[in-house]
Amino acid sequence: MRAINLPTDLLRAFVSVIDLGGYTRAADALGRTQPAISLQMKRLEELLDAKLLAHEGRELKLTEEGEALAVYARQLLRLNDEAVAKLKGRAAKGQLRVGLPTDFSVAFLQDSIIDFAGEQAKVTLSITCDLSRKLLDLLHADDLDIVIALLARDKNPYLVRSWDERPIWAVAKDFPVNKSVAVPLVTHPEGCEYRRRMTAALRAEGRDWRVAYTTPDIGGLQRAVSAGMGVTALTRKTVLPDMRILASREGFPAMEPIHIGLFYKHQRLSGAGLMLVDSLIARMDEAAEPAPTKASAAR
């Protein structure tokens, strides 16, 4: 098959149209005319033989092919811009607003951000922790620059990379498990994907449950579980030494995996932002659960 090269100027125009919400705004940001941006989009679609953008009323939407390309386009542009910044010796500076989810293990991500801040004295960081859907709303409104969040169930237009994490059942080591009583859940507020997965798994198992403790804070959730308030869903990185993991034989079936994503608008992101993104991707790749081998999958 003949190799197809995707010019970065076409990818930059494509991502700018997405991030800025239209051809005219993309043209202004890139110093081009609106017809020039339209021609670039047409050229990109011709190269890939795919429709990438479609109008729904007055709103511009990504097609399925467009959403798939957007993920690759952001990665290619990030590598391109990082290479240019490194070779030209540009220093990181400015303010970065980062969103981290309360419904995912954020401690190791906070460590990565703190390390970055220590290395980049001219960068001012502001971190917001909230439910994933709220963080994505803030990114959409340009109130955050970079977000780690659980993937939405429909469209994820600013997605750059994604990882899978399977939640596990955790309880205090001395907590008595009684299958004849309703499971006391320690959970984040309504709207949390971990909460939804816990209740869905118990419902499928035919087990009753009740909410024993609700907190928006991962630390508060961990303390409540350690104190014996009930059962919760955690990632392996947030299980504390005084907890134990519950198994399916105890009436706690496997939960659906969580899909975590890194999101940003490339056109809005500074060189400092790209450097932090690179650090976060490296940390998330290190933390990702290894894919099962053929031998383990066969067990």
* 292 belongs to a structural domain: no
Alpha helices in the chain (DSSP H): 8-20, 23-30, 34-48, 64-88, 107-119, 132-140, 193-205, 218-226, 271-287, 294-298
Report the alpha-carbon distance of residue 42 to residue 44 in Å, rounded.
5
What is the per-residue pLDDT for 297? Answer: 35
- Based on the domain organization, do 231 and 109 belong to the same domain? no
62 and 100 share a domain?
no
Q: Are residues 176 and 245 in the same domain?
A: yes
Give 223-228's long-range contacts (Cβ < 8 A, gap of 24+): 224/186, 225/170, 225/171, 225/172, 225/186, 226/172, 227/172, 228/172, 228/174, 228/175
> How many Å is the maximal CA-CA distance in the chain?
69
The Cα 255–Cα 232 span in angstroms is 12
What local confidence, expressed as pLDDT, does residue 291 receive? 45
Nearest to 15 by CA among 71, 81, 96, 79: 71
* Per-residue pLDDT, 294: 39
Q: What is the CATH number of the domain that holds 112?
A: 3.40.190.10
AA identity, residue 4? I
- Element containing residue 126 per DSSP (H, E): strand 123-130
Q: Are residues 181 and 70 in the same domain?
A: no
Q: Which of 78, 111, 130 is the last residue of a domain?
A: 78
Query: Are residues 187 and 244 part of one domain?
Result: yes
In a domain, 187, yes or no: yes
Q: For residue 108, is it within any domain?
A: yes
Same domain flag for 130 and 264: yes
Predicted confidence at residue 295, as pLDDT, reads 37
| Residue 175: domain span | 168-250
Is residue 199 domain-shared with residue 240, that is, in the same domain? yes
Question: Are residues 264 and 159 part of one domain?
Answer: yes
Say whether both 144 and 268 belong to one domain.
Answer: yes
Number of structural domains, the chain? 3
Which ranges constitute the DSSP H helices of 103-251? 107-119, 132-140, 193-205, 218-226
In tens digits, the chain (299 residues) has pLDDT values of 578 899 999 999 999 999 988 999 999 999 999 999 999 999 999 999 999 998 887 788 899 999 999 999 999 998 898 888 777 766 667 889 999 887 665 666 777 888 888 777 788 889 898 888 889 999 999 999 999 998 876 677 889 888 888 899 999 999 998 888 999 999 988 878 889 999 999 999 999 999 999 998 888 899 999 999 999 999 887 899 999 999 999 999 999 988 889 999 988 888 888 888 888 888 888 766 544 433 333 33
**167 in Cβ contact with 195 (< 8 Å):** no
